[in-house]
Structure 1
Amino acid sequence: MMDVRRADERYPGGDPAAGIETRHAFSFGSHYDPDNLRFGALIACNEERLAPGAGFDEHPHSHTEIVTWVVEGRLTHRDSQGHETTVRPGDVQRLSAAGGVRHVERNDGTAPLTFVQMWLAPLDPGGDPSYEIVHGIADSTPYAVPGAGAMLHVRRLVPGERTAVPDAPRAYVHVVRGTVRMGPHELGPGDAVRAADEKDLELLTLTGPAEVLIWELSA
């Protein structure tokens, strides 16, 4: 099964008057869709755009694995565990909310900030919060989120380049930039594919450079 979701099908959110524009891939907040609650462990894939000086004030999370990928700009992160970091393009940030944590996310720079934030449901709720940032992750280095039984693969591709989509019970493919082909489907920025029980899938870059996030999800 391959389910293609286009960028213009995302739910609008955020607070544009405050410089926050959000596009939700899954049911979120007031946009409730009982047929679009999750895909495997993945329960949110939000495209966030923050104007300079805009951001999310301190707010709580619990029982969620939060993974953030910055597309452009710089994201300031502060949390109740004492972590304060700047997340840049190429960095992977993970906040395991576990039994409960509070954090702030802001654009403290002078340029617009765009990032993709993905939430995953943990296999076992509760526990102690944890935080990790990997600076400049390489294409050949998958990032494991064992608490959710998931693996993130980052692919940066030039035109004409091919890459395999991992064989997995479920795979979620999100196009950050560029244009790629997956099977018969041409995908552009913001488009996504939810693949279940598919084998031997691959991406072909049509225009680039392309950047693609691939989640390998357990059953």
Structure 2
Amino acid sequence: MDVRRASERYRGGDPAAGIESWHSLSFGPHYDPDNLRFGAVIACNEEHLGPGAGFDEHPHSHTEIVTWVIAGELTHRDSTGRETVIRPGDVQRLSAASGVRHVERNASRTPLTFLQMWLSPLKPGGEPRYEVVRGIADSTPYALPEAGAMLHVRRLTPGERTAVPAAPYVYIHVTRGTVRLDGEVLTAGDAARLTDEKDAEAVAEGEAEVLMWEMAAV
């Protein structure tokens, strides 16, 4: 188990434009050859956008992009003509496939915080796809077969335990609260990377929300 603290992430973004980014893996100008990916996960970015701030239209390809809003509302518009507003509890997924362009913005009057996770597809190419699951229920897995991955969302009550999937790779990110994972205390923004771990479990030390990526061997 490899624990990565929120304070260890790379800082990016453009604070003058109301954009603050925190990167968990090598990303953009923050190149770290020892931290390029974990399993299928190639990026895990926590983004903070002030009111009116956002990312202008930009391209993606050959990437599975999953977005989870922690607080606020995210407005998404892409080159296929879709425009949606994503809120806490929604799972947004954009399969960039052979290529797509999109805009992400905080069109509200309150701050926005969201986690965006990029996964490498098993096969490149194909047609772009877009999906939003509104208000995904606790313990409901979200399958991402294109990347050989499954997302587990857990909202834990104080003292509640949750099993960690037994898989070749598991990426755990705490979005709210505090959990204890095999003796390690993880708070909001902390992550753990587990390889071939079995019988691991997380215990909430208060109200907590945890995202867990279960991934097949690369």
The residue type equivalent to 1:90 in the other structure is: G
Q: Distance in 1 between matches of 2:7 and 2:139?
A: 31
Deviation at 1:149, TM superposition (A): 0.4
The corresponding residue for 1:212 is 210
The corresponding residue for 2:170 is 171
Deviation at 1:148, TM superposition (A): 0.3
The corresponding residue for 1:21 is 20
List gaps (5 residues or longer) in structure 2.
none
Q: Distance in 2 between matches of 1:21 and 1:145?
A: 28
Deviation at 1:140, TM superposition (A): 2.5
* Correspondence list, 1:1-219, <5 A: 2-207=1-206, 209-219=207-217
Q: Distance in 1 between matches of 2:147 and 2:81?
A: 24
Q: Distance in 2 between matches of 1:17 and 1:140?
A: 39
Deviation at 1:141, TM superposition (A): 1.3
Deviation at 1:25, TM superposition (A): 0.2
The residue type equivalent to 2:7 in the other structure is: D
User: Aligned pair count?
Assistant: 217
Q: Secondary structure at the match of 1:17?
A: helix
Q: Distance in 2 between matches of 1:139 and 1:96?
A: 24
The residue type equivalent to 1:80 in the other structure is: S
Q: Deviations over 1:169-217 (max 9, x none)?
A: 110000001000000100001100000001011000012x100000001
Q: Distance in 2 between matches of 1:215 and 1:144?
A: 10
Q: Secondary structure at the match of 1:195?
A: strand
Q: Distance in 1 between matches of 2:18 and 2:199?
A: 42
Q: Distance in 1 between matches of 2:177 and 2:158?
A: 9
Q: Distance in 2 between matches of 1:49 and 1:40?
A: 26
The residue type equivalent to 1:24 in the other structure is: H
Moved over 6 A (4+): none
Q: Distance in 2 between matches of 1:139 and 1:65?
A: 22
TM-score, scaled relative to structure 2: 0.99
The residue type equivalent to 2:131 in the other structure is: E
Q: Secondary structure at the match of 1:8?
A: helix
The residue type equivalent to 1:215 in the other structure is: W
Q: Distance in 2 between matches of 1:40 and 1:86?
A: 29
Q: Distance in 1 between matches of 2:40 and 2:172?
A: 14
Q: Distance in 1 between matches of 2:139 and 2:42?
A: 26
Deviation at 1:27, TM superposition (A): 0.2
The residue type equivalent to 1:73 in the other structure is: G
Q: Distance in 2 between matches of 1:141 and 1:98?
A: 25
Q: Distance in 1 between matches of 2:106 and 2:185?
A: 32
The residue type equivalent to 2:135 in the other structure is: G
